Amino acid sequence: MAAIGQKGMPGYGLGFSGSVGTINQVDSIGFLMDKPIGSPVLEIRNLRLTMTPEDSVLSPVPLVDEFEQWIPAEWAGKAAAAEDLQAAWNEEDKALRTDRFKVSEYGGYLETRAAAARQCEPLRNDPFLLGYFVGNEPPWPGRGDGENYNIGMVDVTDRPYRDLVDAARETHARLYEIHSGKTAPVDRMAKIQ
C-alpha cells in the first residue's frame, strides 16, 4: 500500500490498529473482509515491506474522468461526452415524472398540500397572520417529533416547492388589502390537483 489513511482502492484498503512504529517493528499483518459472501479465501503470492510506495494502481495515470466515472471500466450508458450525460439525466427525469403518484415536482404529496391549505382558509381574515413561517425543510432523516417533511418553502437541496411558492406569492400580494378591509378574502376552497 502506498500511504496510511488513504482512500481504499477497488478491492482493498489500509488501516492500522495499535501503535505504529518503523518498518522493522512490524509484528503482524491482518486482513479483514467486511461482510464476506460464502467462505472466501485470501491467497497472498507475493508480499514485500518497503519504505517507498510501489503500488501499481497509484500512478500518474488518472483513474476518474471529468464526469467522475471510473476510467478502467466500461459499461452500457457510460458517458463519453457532456451530451451523453445530459441525455441520461433527461431520461431519468422522464422516468421520475411526478404525475404518476400525485407528488409535486419538488417533493411532497399534492393532495396533502391542498388539504393542508383548506385548513388555513378560516385564518384568511386574521390580521395577525402575515405569511408562511418556515423557510426550509428539516434535514433528512427529519425531526425528532415526527414532523419530517412538507413544511418548508424550499426542500433540503434548496429547491423551492413551486406550487407552495406560487400560492404564497398570490396570497401575500393581497394580504395587506384583506387585513385592512379594502379587499374581500377569497371564499373558495383550495383545489386538489
Whole-structure pTM value = 0.28
Tell me if residue 170 falls in helix, strand or coil. helix
Q: Are 7 and 17 in contact (CB under 8 A)?
A: no
Identify the DSSP state of 141. Answer: T
| Residue 27 CA to its chain's centroid (Å) | 43
**pLDDT confidence of 191, banded at 50, 70, 90?**
low
Residue 185 and residue 124: Cα distance in Å, rounded?
A: 7
Q: What mean pLDDT, rounded, does the chain reach?
A: 70
Q: What is the pLDDT of residue 83?
A: 93
Residue carrying C-alpha cell 388539504? 115
Structural domain boundaries in the chain = 100-180
In whole angstroms, give the CA distance from residue 59 to residue 3. 13
Pair 67, 79: CB distance under 8 Å:
yes
DSSP 175: H
pLDDT band at 54 (very low <50, low <70, confident <90, very high): low
Q: Give me the phi and psi of 109, to 5 degrees please.
A: -95, 130
How far is the CA of 118 from the CAs of 58, 128, 153, in angstroms? Answer: 61, 18, 18
